[in-house]
Structure 1
Amino acid sequence: MNVNIVKILRKISVKKYAFILIIICFIFQLIGYKFGNSGGDIVKVNIDYVTVHFDLKGSPPMLTYMMNLLPTLKNYGVNSILMEYEDMFPYEGNLANLSSEIAYTKTELTDFLLEAKKLDIEVIPLIQTFGHMEFVLKLAEFSVHRELPYNPGEICPSQPGSLELIRNMLSQVITFHNFVQPIKYIHIGCDEVYNINDCPNCIRRNLKNHQIYYKHLINVKNIVKDLSPNTKVLFWSEFNYSQKRINLKNELEDYKHELNDLEPIDWEYVGERVNSARLYRMHEVFNRVWFATAFKGADDVHGKEPDIMKRYLNHIHWLNQVLTYKPPKYNVKINGIVLTGWSRYSHFARQCELLPFSMPSLILNLLLIKLFREGINRDFLYKYNHCQIYERFIKKDFEKVYATHASHVECSFRSVSVAKLKYPNYKSCLARIEDIRTDWEIYSLTNLQDMTNTVEMCNDQLRNGIIVMEKLKPLLSEFYRKEVIDNYLNETINFYDTKVGDGIKEFIMKIMNFTFLPRRSFGPLPIIKYGD
């Protein structure tokens, strides 16, 4: 080294040397250099809330199981739970009939909330206040509040009694929660309001559909603020983009000052349909917005386990959209993500994937969110596809929990199955039975070999149903009460066992009673009764 340079370095104090090093590092950052990251920028999804949705309608796990889940969820980055109570909240007084016969007790719920509080996990109650109010409006004493007299799905927002009913529901839930820990957020539902502005009370107001919708939102928000002034209000947002022919920014200008403390959640569960343009439209009106994915309950109304690849792609698409999103103005924020886990598509629908069978999907996608929140090299997102991102950044941690069985295949998580059960294919049986029944109705007979094959195939499925049921009973007893297990088994096996068995029995009786038929004849064409 040059002697003069050495002399100069010796004269520089340690503090000055450190200062010079900091300046050099700063200059390198300005020109886009990142140490240890192959020359690419580190990008992050900056959100405050990672929220897991527990949908309790008709498929409520035991709270002891859910309490045991909390430390695991915390470990994977979850800091809030969205509790969609439906009929599992212990309502009292004139609302007592809203609660299921197996609703949680206040003691059980208090223990759960205290455990969440200890882990610093925020619990956000979800109470439906517009659509999906079947569990309320199916009851005789509340049926007068329906938007349509024959449909218990939507409440009429134009009846004063409707808002009083909603106030009573919210009051009981908010009071109970605030006693344990003051709630920062409450979710008021408002998704899938299929029937709106249809009843005479609404029509007389001479308002557009979106005006009816948002005025109701504001009314419910005001109820919340009256009951709990520091609580902010969440709602499902699809009404923002379903009204494609209106400009919400202009249409809601008159209500803008009343939309404070309302935060929409944009939900989309199909990967290729995810579009940040909807976030943009919401940010034109609201300062804080959320987005929602699904880890279960979004692929098949009768699903048994989530399509884990579709669920993974759903999250990948959303996270990439959020990374590249440019809002329309300053001082707005994407506040959080909700990983929804639907148990039923509606109050009257059958159960879809159970929570214990969906945990691989949940853990996988929590690891993915954790990766994007901590930061990922921008170049990697362009260089690697979704499976390569999993293999490089997630697989090691995922396989600490769930062993994969196809490591040579891309996205090896697809091989994970918790249940490991082959459910009977009742749908195929019923379709073939219906074809044979149609033959009988047209020709008074059917191809007997086809019928024999169908009977054999269906008998195999009936036997398989018994095997699956005997395996499920002890497996599910760790997570659910007997009443919930029985309901699931009836919807999944017992009901179809009877339906398929009755079809087979019907055919056997017809064959036994068959004697002879006349020669083939061609009668007149029957009249079309319903197609005109």
Structure 2
Amino acid sequence: MTNSEMSGSSPFKMRLVHLDLKGAPPKVSYLSEVFPLFHALGANGLLLEYEDMFPYEGHLRLLRAKHAYSPPEIKEILHLAALNELEVIPLVQTFGHMEFVLKHEALAHLREVALFPNTLNPHEAESLALVGAMISQVMELHPGARWLHVGCDEVYYLGEGEASRRWLRQEHNTKARLCLSHMKAVACHVLARHPATTPLVWDDMLRAIPEDQLSASGVPQLVEPVLWDYGADLDIHGKALLMEKYRRCGFLRLWAASAFKGATGASQALTPIEHHLRNNVQWLQVAASGPADMLQGIVLTGWQRYDHFSVLCELLPVGIPSLAVCLQSLLHGGFTEDVKARVENFLGISSLEITDLMSEGAGSFPGSDILALITHVGLHLRSSVDTLLERDSLLARWSTLVQELEAALHRVFYPDAVEEWLEENARPSLQRLQALVQDLREAASAGPGPGPGPSPHSGQDP
């Protein structure tokens, strides 16, 4: 049975898996392993948030991360996506969440507020030229993309820069108007150069704008908003009313956005599946109660950092059981025993736990070793170090497990992400344990009687 046949019951024609590459971006080899799984689970598209992983060229080269994908790697990712019938929508931030751009000295003069690198100053001609250049480089590597997501969420401090304050003192000027004019400029830029590509925007900056202003702005004719809410207790009626409002303002199509990971805590290490299942099932209810035929699809977001400077939250392999549960529930209209059995089958998991953490030996899907080891670290590393019942054997055990996890992570992620995750979640406890074992050894060897002397490896890393 093909995806299109299966999804007869789903109100979401497009089901996109969001890959947030601004933290722990997977190696292309790992993407080649998971794309077939995404497809099998019912996804038919990808929203690729490249951030600094895109191989920007020329004067934008400074935006590249150390392990940025090369142009051939991007082509390979798109080829793998096509093989697995996953339509790719690239995402380029053009307003808020511009930290990866505006943190650079050479571009800092384009900040809305000098102290904060998150928001672009919409009054500078150079600002539009900058996002225009980013867009054209991304589109060059994504020829024929039907949609381009231009971000525009969480535009913090908008209106607080010097130029904005001056502008806002003029009659009729408001922050809403400022926001809409920049959105419109970006959308027009995209459409002028890529008439077959529709810009998508996150909807949070639009929600509170009065209907008449939104209607008069010209924005509804240019973009498709993505309504996002990652909570486990959606206001279903409120969402339906918001969709109605957008329809009255002239938007022709809307998208929903749920989450499968990365939305329950900035430093969350293990994914609470039940939370994300409830979130996605409630989006099914929104789809059933909102205006018919406006919904183009749903994006299952999988955030990897809350922003460019935040710590890592759950790694992609850790979130895969949650993604499987959410995609299959969206496809089949809910989470039944039958859907649970299908998910267990897809993931090679004997009994799926929705409410509790996954069991430590869970699954045979790509990256399941990482999930099992991270679950083990999350459940036991801190507590076992805190209790410290036995010294040397405990250190040897944890050193071995962390080395095993490190090797598993290296297969999927680049060295800096592996380093960051271990630094955040494993190394501090291991170092405490090591120092303690060292102290105990020294105390023992210095003490009276024939106590055990220092081992030959004393003072070295295990």
Q: C-alpha offsets along residues 86-107 of structure 1, whole Å, 9 cap, x if unaligned?
A: 0000001100010011100001
Counterpart mapping for 1:65-76 below 5 A: 65-76=30-41
Question: Given that residues 273 and 355 in structure 2 are in contact (C-alpha distance below 8 angstroms), is that contact kept between their aligned partners in structure 1?
Answer: no
* Greater displacement, 276-285 / 52-61: 276-285
Distance in 2 (CA, whole Å) between partners of 1:501 and 1:274 is: 50
- Aligned to 1:390, which of 315, 336, 348? 336
1:262 is aligned to 223
Counterpart mapping for 1:62-101 below 5 A: 62-101=27-66
- Aligned to 2:248, which of 284, 302, 311? 284
* SS of residue paired to 2:66: coil
The change in CA–CA distance for 1:402 and 1:122 in structure 2 (over 3 A counts) is: closer
* SS of residue paired to 1:360: helix
Percent of residue pairs identical: 30
2:91 is aligned to 126
Question: Given that residues 404 and 413 in structure 1 are in contact (C-alpha distance below 8 angstroms), is that contact kept between their aligned partners in structure 2?
Answer: no
Distance in 1 (CA, whole Å) between partners of 2:186 and 2:390 is: 52
Matched, 1:343 2:288: no
Question: Given that residues 268 and 274 in structure 1 are in contact (C-alpha distance below 8 angstroms), is that contact kept between their aligned partners in structure 2?
Answer: no
2:406 is aligned to 473
Amino acid at match of 1:471: E
Distance in 1 (CA, whole Å) between partners of 2:410 and 2:198 is: 37
Question: Given that residues 426 and 496 in structure 1 are in contact (C-alpha distance below 8 angstroms), is that contact kept between their aligned partners in structure 2?
Answer: no
Distance in 2 (CA, whole Å) between partners of 1:69 and 1:350 is: 24
Counterpart mapping for 1:493-504 below 5 A: 493-495=426-428
Distance in 1 (CA, whole Å) between partners of 2:43 and 2:8 is: 20
* SS of residue paired to 1:366: helix
The change in CA–CA distance for 1:350 and 1:464 in structure 2 (over 3 A counts) is: farther
* SS of residue paired to 2:73: helix
Q: CA deviation at 1:228?
A: 0.9
Distance in 2 (CA, whole Å) between partners of 1:194 and 1:284 is: 27
Matched, 1:294 2:259: yes
Amino acid at match of 2:216: D
The change in CA–CA distance for 1:45 and 1:400 in structure 2 (over 3 A counts) is: closer
Amino acid at match of 2:314: E
* SS of residue paired to 1:107: helix
Q: CA deviation at 1:259?
A: 3.0
Q: C-alpha offsets along residues 349-379 of structure 1, whole Å, 9 cap, x if unaligned?
A: 111111112111111111111113xxxxxxx
* SS of residue paired to 1:272: coil
* SS of residue paired to 1:350: coil
Q: C-alpha offsets along residues 95-125 of structure 1, whole Å, 9 cap, x if unaligned?
A: 0010011100001111221232344321111
1:250 is aligned to 212
The change in CA–CA distance for 1:426 and 1:410 in structure 2 (over 3 A counts) is: closer
1:140 is aligned to 105
Distance in 2 (CA, whole Å) between partners of 1:454 and 1:477 is: 28
Q: CA deviation at 1:284?
A: 2.5
The change in CA–CA distance for 1:399 and 1:333 in structure 2 (over 3 A counts) is: same
The change in CA–CA distance for 1:313 and 1:122 in structure 2 (over 3 A counts) is: same
Distance in 1 (CA, whole Å) between partners of 2:302 and 2:430 is: 28
2:417 is aligned to 484
* SS of residue paired to 1:364: helix
1:526 is aligned to none
Q: CA deviation at 1:404?
A: 5.2
The change in CA–CA distance for 1:132 and 1:412 in structure 2 (over 3 A counts) is: closer
Distance in 2 (CA, whole Å) between partners of 1:156 and 1:504 is: 54
Question: Given that residues 96 and 120 in structure 2 are in contact (C-alpha distance below 8 angstroms), is that contact kept between their aligned partners in structure 1?
Answer: yes
Matched, 1:358 2:319: yes
* SS of residue paired to 2:56: coil
The change in CA–CA distance for 1:114 and 1:502 in structure 2 (over 3 A counts) is: same
Question: Given that residues 43 and 323 in structure 1 are in contact (C-alpha distance below 8 angstroms), is that contact kept between their aligned partners in structure 2?
Answer: no
Question: Given that residues 82 and 126 in structure 1 are in contact (C-alpha distance below 8 angstroms), is that contact kept between their aligned partners in structure 2?
Answer: yes
Distance in 2 (CA, whole Å) between partners of 1:189 and 1:87 is: 15
Question: Given that residues 344 and 350 in structure 2 are in contact (C-alpha distance below 8 angstroms), is that contact kept between their aligned partners in structure 1?
Answer: no
Distance in 1 (CA, whole Å) between partners of 2:87 and 2:72 is: 18
* SS of residue paired to 1:284: helix
* SS of residue paired to 1:306: coil
Amino acid at match of 1:359: I
Matched, 1:319 2:265: no
Distance in 2 (CA, whole Å) between partners of 1:134 and 1:358 is: 25
* Greater displacement, 109-118 / 138-147: 109-118
CA RMSD of aligned residues (A): 3.1
Q: CA deviation at 1:496?
A: 5.8
Q: CA deviation at 1:47?
A: 2.8
Q: CA deviation at 1:411?
A: 6.7
* SS of residue paired to 1:293: strand
Q: CA deviation at 1:420?
A: 2.6
Name segments (4+ residues, structure 1) moved above 3 Å.
42-45, 402-407, 409-418, 424-429, 453-468, 495-506
* SS of residue paired to 2:263: coil
Question: Given that residues 113 and 161 in structure 2 are in contact (C-alpha distance below 8 angstroms), is that contact kept between their aligned partners in structure 1?
Answer: yes
Distance in 2 (CA, whole Å) between partners of 1:499 and 1:491 is: 14
Q: C-alpha offsets along residues 305-343 of structure 1, whole Å, 9 cap, x if unaligned?
A: 21011111111111122112246xxxx611100000111
Q: CA deviation at 1:499?
A: 7.9
The change in CA–CA distance for 1:454 and 1:70 in structure 2 (over 3 A counts) is: closer
Q: CA deviation at 1:415?
A: 5.2
2:274 is aligned to 309
Q: TM-score, normalised by structure 2?
A: 0.81
Question: Given that residues 19 and 49 in structure 2 are in contact (C-alpha distance below 8 angstroms), is that contact kept between their aligned partners in structure 1?
Answer: yes
Distance in 2 (CA, whole Å) between partners of 1:397 and 1:413 is: 19
From the CA coordinates, give the structure whose radius of gyration is larger: 1
Question: Given that residues 143 and 149 in structure 1 are in contact (C-alpha distance below 8 angstroms), is that contact kept between their aligned partners in structure 2?
Answer: yes
Amino acid at match of 1:323: A
Q: CA deviation at 1:424?
A: 5.8
Amino acid at match of 2:61: A
Q: CA deviation at 1:58?
A: 2.3
Amino acid at match of 1:265: V
Question: Given that residues 147 and 195 in structure 1 are in contact (C-alpha distance below 8 angstroms), is that contact kept between their aligned partners in structure 2?
Answer: yes
Q: CA deviation at 1:459?
A: 8.2
Matched, 1:204 2:169: no
Q: CA deviation at 1:290?
A: 0.5
2:185 is aligned to 219
Question: Given that residues 41 and 346 in structure 2 are in contact (C-alpha distance below 8 angstroms), is that contact kept between their aligned partners in structure 1?
Answer: no
Distance in 1 (CA, whole Å) between partners of 2:276 and 2:354 is: 16
Counterpart mapping for 1:100-249 below 5 A: 100-178=65-143, 182-206=144-168, 207-241=173-207, 243=208, 246-247=209-210, 249=211
* Greater displacement, 199-208 / 488-497: 488-497
